[in-house]
A and B are shown apart, each in its own frame.
Chain A
Amino acid sequence: MLLQLNNIFKWVNSGGQRIFLLKDINLTVEEGEFISIMGPSGSGKSTLLYLLGMLDGFDEGEYHFLEEPVHTMKEKHRSNLYKEYIGFVFQSYHLLDELTVWENLEMPLLYKKIGSAERKAKVADMLDRFNIVAKKDLFPPQLSGGQQQLVGVARALISNPKLILADEPTGNLNSKQGEEIMELFKQLNSEGVTIIQVTHSEKNASYASRVINLLDGRMI
């Protein structure tokens, strides 16, 4: 078991009223799963995703990640945990525009204080694997959306995470580019990486082995 959510509630207080963002979420994710989270706008998909990624908190319930209780952890411990095991992919890529493709990929390794030789090897390997060696010295704005997202996925993968969280990874791409990314996810999943993605598209959702539907913060 990779992670488990028990009776998770998340709310905000607005004008004397409590508005629930997530209500009583129970979810178990095994290693190697590929899950799509679906639902209309405002149903809490992204909130759930970032909660899983430990970037966002919750108000009630328990969250265990690799048997460790996330809900009782200190912030520092929590961030170490997600840095170690989780990679993020965003709809708008969120690459650092001032860094080249190579440097963007290198960044997470630098933060992990990995030695120069190993860094080079890993980055070169990743460029090779994603077929973007020719682009290594370009800056993100010089790439197409699909290529940028490719770099985004590569960056998420470079520190060998167990889990990839993707927030509408194809939302800014045309259908052909989107398809390529989905194929890539499928392949990664077959290599053993657990993937949870938020998507609007039925077609993309169908790449997953399991689909979770949310409505008004509730799993249905």
Chain B
Amino acid sequence: MLKNHLKIAWRNLRKNKGYALINIGGLALGFAITLLIGLWIYDELSFNKQHSSYDRIAEVLQNVDFDGTIETWESQNYPLGDALRTEYGTYFDEVVMSTYPRRSIFKHGETVIGELGSFMEEGAPAILDLKMIHGNKDSFGDPNSIFLSATLANSIFGAENPLGKSLIMNNETSLKVAGVYEDMPRSSNFRDEAGYLGSLDLLMIGAGPNKKGWLNNWLMVFVKMAENVTVEQASAAIKNVKLNNAGEKELQSNPQLFLHPLSKWRLYSHFENGVSIGGRITYVWLFGFIGAFVLFLASINFINLSTARSQKRAEEVGIRKVIGSSKLQLVRQFFMESLMVVLLAFFLALLLAQLALPLFNEITQKDVGILWGHPMLWVMFLVSVGLVGILSGLYPAFYLSSFLPIKVLKGLPKSAAGGNVRFRQALVILQFVVSVTLVIGTLVIYQQIQHVKNRSLGYEVEGLVMVPMQTDEVKKNYEAFRNTLLESNAFLEIARSESPVTNTWYSDFDFKWKGKDPGFRDNIFRGLVNHEFGETIQWSILKGRDFSKAYATDSTAVILNEAAVKYMGFEDPIGQIIEAPWGEELTVIGVVEDMITQSLYESNKQTMFRFDQYQQANLMNIKLNPNTDVTEAMNQLSAVYKQFNPNTPMEYTFAEDQYAEKFAFEARVGKLSGIFAGLAIFISCLGLLGLASFVAERRTKEIGIRKVLGASVSMLWQMLSKEFIGLVLLGSALAIPLASYMMQQWLNDYEYRTEISWSLYGYAALGAVLVTLLTVSVQTLRAAQNNPIKSLRTE
């Protein structure tokens, strides 16, 4: 009997190949999307979870108050570590300060390799949960030795055991390899920071008071909490450590310390006014909803399409009953059939998902795979196959099997089979609410990206290459290197700066100037640059002049941006004297047009460009001649560089790439939501197709009569299509306020944002209508063209 049921089901599918394809294909697509989204969410939620002390690791953050705006900073100062250890030691097993990841160059024999890593304090192995391959965790912390990741050790030393071998860092420091650890997993926040691990003590040798003081925030502080200590307890305890130690006078910004636990780093790291207001978790929810909706749409569609064809099966039910089938046997048959089809769809979905994984990973920048062995997959398998199979089998199983055979065999009134039209219409409306919402969302994201792309940068990002000066060799040879480069017409100008122009993060506070309100707590971003910087990035001076070698006094000169002039309240900024917190008197010589040196989405920040009199700026900015081929210029650049700096490999970034990074995340979300919107539209079209064929079948007789009475094909097409257009317009009308609300919420996260235009809603609705017409016409035209004699004689 089972065999017979499966046989019938299979033959039914083969007989209606087109129908089977869209029905199974649509469901499989829905399953596949949900599966991929599920993998993405799973990956996000399990981030960092591999850490053996997951619940006890935290980072020390501080809320600082700049005249009413509370900012949350990660960076801390050097004395904080000792203060936490000595005063609050009972709360913590480990307190470890770490530098931000920095690039160092390692040389061993002929091999020279640059890599990102951090300099940390003794407890680092516990904080990072290091898994040693060679050496002992406890040996970490000696300033004369270094730990390497497996990958780095392998690329420097190859197959040989590196333990005890020595290498030279940044051409000056000789270090012994004391340990090799497994690479940090991809799903770890520490991954970027841990190519190598050096001792922080090494950096502190010969460090000036500036680096050691309470005012300079340049480190991160991680802790491993003692057992039985909660985040709240420890946070409350350390709240005022800085105030107590450094004195309020020195720290006007009222820094309040707190712990941010490891479990929240990935998803809850967006702070506003000193409180965590989420972060990536928003996207986890968003994609979770989308996934659930897509699965819902696809399942509903599947049920819709399957049941629309039940009419055809009614006769079969009658025959089977007459020749001896019981109701139960019919119920079982229909369930078996729908389970088989859903099962097919699920396996197809696994295949689809597997095929789409590389693309998916590329877009999401992840490394997920289908977790074949994970119980979740099979729970999801059972739940979704069971649910969809049972739901789609429910209608034919119980409704059809309850038919009296006499009724169906004598010819069923058409309206009796196929269920409620209103229900189907409601489903189509719902589908279009979801699809149009997604489409509008995608359009708004793209509009916002275009909006920020069109924002005036205030400098020229094209053809700007940035090369870090990582060793003394490069610094020493800078002038000669620059002069040699300028001999070639491939390069227009070369300048030094402390930060890349695309990412100026450093700031100073506690300046004094004429007219400053004594209670005003200032914070001014800092650009440390030399004479040629303005020329290189092509900024525009609005008032006064650029730095110039002609003026010896320019060593203490500063140029303010427009935002800074406003911030400091200068009527006439040129010639104003500003007293720096370290005592120097700085003279304003010019005002430069606002430049986007930080986020594209925020307003311009007050920035002071200071002349780099002590040559601290360690980044070379090189402007290529736009008339030369980039590859050619880069070849020249690396040749000249090598000639001057044989011991330091050249690393470079294009400013354009850094600029693109600023909206990379938004672009990624846009791309994903675009794909989801496309698929949602596609699945909705399947639903439409199902409804259209259902309606066409239902109205066969009416169409036949109308044709006999003289209706033309185009009139019939209009009549049949109008109904659907109405549904879709209604769906769009519901989607517009929903999407507009959601997207306005999204945009509100951006200080610099686009206005959603009404025409955008119009385009979305128009697109939905066009797609609908196209889809529905496939069915309506066929129905309208049928020979009326055929349909009328079937009665």
Contacts and interface: CB of A to CB of B under 8 A. Distances in A.
B325 A98 contact: no
Contacts of B404: 55-56
A99 B8 contact: yes
Interface string A54-89: 011000000000000000000000010001000010
Contacts of A56: 404, 406
Given A96-B316, A103-B7, A108 B323 contact: yes
Contacts of B406: 50, 55-56
Contacts of B12: 98
Contacts of A176: none
B326 to A, nearest CB: 7
A94 B8 contact: no
B324 interface: yes
A98 B11 contact: yes
A159 interface: yes
Contact of A55 (B11, B315, B324, B405): B405
Nearest to B411: A92
A213 interface: no
Nearest to A50: B406
Contact of A98 (B8, B321, B324, B405): B8
B355 interface: no
A88 B315 CA distance: 15
B323 A90 contact: no
A107 B318 CA distance: 14
Contacts of A112: 324
A178 to B, nearest CB: 21
B550 interface: no
Contacts, number: 53
Contacts of A88: 322-323
A112 B325 CA distance: 8
Contacts of A108: 323-324
Contacts of A106: 4
B331 to A, nearest CB: 14
Interface in A27-48: 46
A108 B320 CA distance: 8
Given A94-B315, A96-B8, A103-B4, A111 B324 contact: yes
Interface in A105-134: 106-108, 110-112
B410 A46 contact: yes
A79 B320 CA distance: 12
Contacts of B315: 94
B329 interface: yes
B319, B323, B410 — most chain A CB neighbours (10 Å): B323
A50 B404 CA distance: 11
A155 interface: yes
Contacts of A103: 4, 7
Contacts of A50: 406
B401 to A, nearest CB: 13
Contacts of B422: none
B793 interface: no
A107 B404 CA distance: 19
A103 B320 CA distance: 13
Interface string B387-407: 000000000000000001110
Given A46-B410, A111-B325, A98 B15 contact: yes
Contacts of A111: 320, 323-326, 329
A110 B4 CA distance: 9
A103 B410 CA distance: 24
Contacts of A55: 322, 404-406, 409
A56 B403 CA distance: 12
Contacts of B324: 83, 107-108, 111-112, 159
Nearest to B15: A98
Contacts of B323: 88, 107-108, 111, 155
A90 B409 contact: yes
A96 B319 contact: yes
Interface in A147-180: 155, 159
B1 interface: yes
Contacts of A159: 324
Contacts of A94: 315, 318-319, 322, 409
A143 B318 CA distance: 22
A108 B325 CA distance: 8
A103 B10 CA distance: 14
A99 B323 CA distance: 14
A158 B755 CA distance: 76
Interface in B1-44: 1, 4, 7-8, 11-12, 15
A99 B34 CA distance: 37
Contacts of A90: 409
A168 to B, nearest CB: 12
Contacts of A98: 7-8, 11-12, 15
Contacts of B326: 79, 111
Contacts of B316: 96
A28 B8 CA distance: 41
B179 to A, nearest CB: 70
Nearest to B3: A110
Contacts of B7: 98-99, 103
Contacts of A96: 8, 316, 319-320
7 contacts: A46-B410, A55-B404, A55-B409, A88-B322, A88-B323, A106-B4, A155-B323
Interface of A: 46, 50, 55-56, 79, 83, 88, 90, 94-96, 98-99, 103, 106-108, 110-112, 155, 159
Given A96-B319, A108-B323, A110-B4, 6 more contacts: A55-B322, A96-B316, A96-B320, A103-B7, A111-B324, A111-B325
Closest 5 CB pairs of A and B: A111-B324, A55-B406, A98-B11, A83-B324, A108-B323
